[in-house]
């Protein structure tokens, strides 16, 4: 009598991933990686193909950072103060990388969006807080994007209302086809549009030597009001480091099915995006400084639409048209990414299906939130000014700097540090277990104070929106 024994299959590891659409092949805009593809990448060609398949999250979030608000901030810096504030961009590079790399690792290891992690670790109140806060701030940011669209189409001589509606339709349609790859290809194509800023730079011919000096040597504009300069620096920080970027990067990397094994490629993707965003910001400061120097517009910034007109006046029609198209392109990218970050967060917290791998039928709530937030901004806030948005962003920047200063002071005072080296064996396959299996966190006094400060911040943001809605109601 012969007996046979079979080895039972090894069960798949239990993870915290909430949407099954977040598990599977990586279908990027420029390549595919199969779920069971565990082959080592030793040859340069294999590494390049892997990078092409991974490229997307870092590139999109960084180019989306150079949105309509950023166009206004960087061109204002160049028009009013020349290239003297270029050094702020260099200082922001490590901040951008540390923040975005952190959420990349968090998303790859946990497989769970940031809003859901907050909900599970800190309770329903703070989970709701994070989503409501994000919703309000993102609504203001999307207002800025549609201001950018109206300024761009106004300069190009296109009808504003149909153009805004068309832009909103493009954003919604690109995301709702049920194909992650199709959306990412559209987004990367729009990212390529940001490179239109480079030929404007060469058309204007700003002094490269002076720009190189101001990029690495900090200084303040001569004969300028210190308070005005500091407010603009804060606006540069606020427009470069925004909350939506953290939520978007983590959620989008999860939706793309990035795992810890591909983190080094995703970090390279992030660096590509950072380089592009710095080039774009520096180009705007440089060509505005050169185009307006010695003219009446110098020191008298109004908005990005006037920048396009000024470029046409002093550098030719082509420069103005390219700038307006780049502004339109940036506004559409920004509106798309900001709206997605909100839809991801709400979908995760409410347990809705939330993935670009699903079509409208498979994720109705996700797409309803996504489309509703764009359209709401376009309809309710059509007359907001870019100055209003920049002021709000500056206030946000001040609050963020104060919070960071407090956290660092407390860390130094308490002497907080890691207790020892971390065992990183097998880090390429790390995945967080289901959320319900994690121990409850212990809230320190400092963390409670920080959370209370965030609650105050949310209240202030809510008041701003309510005041605006009341103004609209009275006006009509």
Question: What are the tens digits of pLDDT across the range 270-313?
Answer: 999 999 999 999 999 999 999 999 888 888 888 889 999 999 99
Least confidently predicted of 94-98, 178-182, 228-232: 228-232
pLDDT digits (tens, 9 = 90+) for 53-66: 999 999 999 998 88
**57 and 258 in contact (C-beta within 8 Å)?**
yes
**281 and 139 in contact (C-beta within 8 Å)?**
no
Phi/psi of residue 209, nearest 5 degrees: -60, -45
User: Which of the four pLDDT bands, split at 50, 70 and 90, describes residue 37?
Assistant: confident
Q: Per-residue pLDDT for 52 more than 90?
A: yes
Taking the CA atoms of 252, 256, 261 and 267 in sequence, report the sign of the dihedral they define.
Answer: negative
List the structure tokens of 136.
Answer: 């309000």
Beta strands in 102-252 (DSSP E): none
pLDDT for res 466: 56
Q: Per-residue pLDDT for 5 more than 60?
A: no
The span from the CA of 197 to the CA of 323, in Å, is 7
Contacts of 178 (CB under 8 A, 6+ apart): 356, 357, 358, 359, 360, 362
The three-state secondary structure class of 27 is: strand
60: closest CA among 187, 196, 244, 168?
187
Contacts of 208 (CB under 8 A, 6+ apart): none
What mean pLDDT do residues 189-217 have?
Answer: 93
User: Which of the four pLDDT bands, split at 50, 70 and 90, describes residue 416?
Assistant: very low
User: Which of the four pLDDT bands, split at 50, 70 and 90, describes residue 253?
Assistant: very high
Q: Each residue of 93-114: b (16+ CB within 10 Å) or e?
A: eeebbeebbebbbbbbbbbbbb
């Amino acid at each position: 009598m012969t007996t046979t024994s079979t080895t039972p299959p090894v069960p798949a590891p239990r993870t915290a991933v909430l949407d099954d659409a977040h598990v599977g092949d990586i279908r990027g805009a420029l390549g595919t990686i199969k779920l069971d593809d565990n082959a080592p990448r030793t040859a340069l060609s294999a590494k390049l193909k892997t990078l092409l398949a991974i490229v997307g999250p870092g590139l999109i979030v960084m180019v989306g950072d150079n949105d309509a608000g950023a166009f206004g901030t960087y061109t204002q810096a160049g028009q009013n103060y020349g290239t003297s504030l270029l050094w702020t961009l260099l200082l922001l590079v490590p901040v951008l990388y540390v923040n975005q790399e952190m959420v990349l690792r968090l998303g790859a290891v946990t497989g769970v969006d940031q809003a859901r992690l907050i909900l599970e670790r800190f309770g329903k109140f703070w989970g709701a807080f994070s989503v409501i806060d994000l919703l309000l701030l993102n609504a203001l940011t999307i207002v800025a994007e549609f201001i950018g669209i109206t300024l761009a189409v106004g300069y190009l001589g296109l009808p504003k209302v149909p153009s805004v509606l068309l832009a909103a339709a493009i954003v919604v349609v690109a995301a709702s086809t049920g194909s992650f790859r199709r959306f990412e290809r559209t987004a990367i194509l729009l990212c390529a549009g940001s490179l239109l800023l480079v030929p404007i730079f060469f058309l204007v011919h700003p002094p490269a030597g002076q720009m190189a000096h101001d990029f690495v040597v900090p200084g303040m504009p001569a004969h300028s009001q210190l308070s005005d300069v500091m407010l603009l620096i804060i606006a540069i920080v606020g427009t470069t480091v925004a909350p939506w970027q953290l939520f978007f990067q983590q959620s989008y990397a999860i939706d793309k099915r990035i795992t810890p094994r591909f983190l080094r490629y995703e970090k390279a993707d992030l660096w590509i995006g950072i380089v592009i965003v710095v080039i774009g910001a520096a180009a705007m400061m440089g060509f505005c400084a050169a185009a307006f120097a010695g003219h009446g517009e110098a020191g008298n910034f109004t908005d990005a639409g006037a920048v396009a007109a000024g470029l046409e006046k002093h550098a030719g029609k082509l420069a103005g048209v390219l700038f307006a198209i780049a502004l339109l392109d940036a506004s559409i990218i920004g509106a798309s990414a900001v709206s997605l970050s909100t839809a991801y967060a709400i979908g995760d917290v409410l347990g809705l299906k939330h993935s670009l791998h699903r079509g409208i039928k498979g994720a109705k709530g996700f797409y309803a939130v996504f489309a509703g937030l764009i359209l709401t901004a376009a309809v309710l806030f059509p007359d907001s000014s870019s100055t209003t948005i920049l002021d709000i962003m500056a206030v946000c920047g001040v609050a963020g700097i104060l919070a960071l200063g407090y956290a660092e002071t407390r860390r130094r005072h308490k002497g907080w540090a890691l207790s020892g080296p971390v065992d990183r064996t097998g880090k390429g396959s790390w995945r967080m277990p289901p959320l319900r299996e994690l121990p409850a966190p212990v809230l320190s006094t400092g963390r409670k104070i920080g959370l209370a400060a965030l609650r105050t911040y949310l209240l202030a943001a809510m008041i701003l929106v309510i005041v605006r809605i009341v103004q609209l109601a009275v006006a009509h």
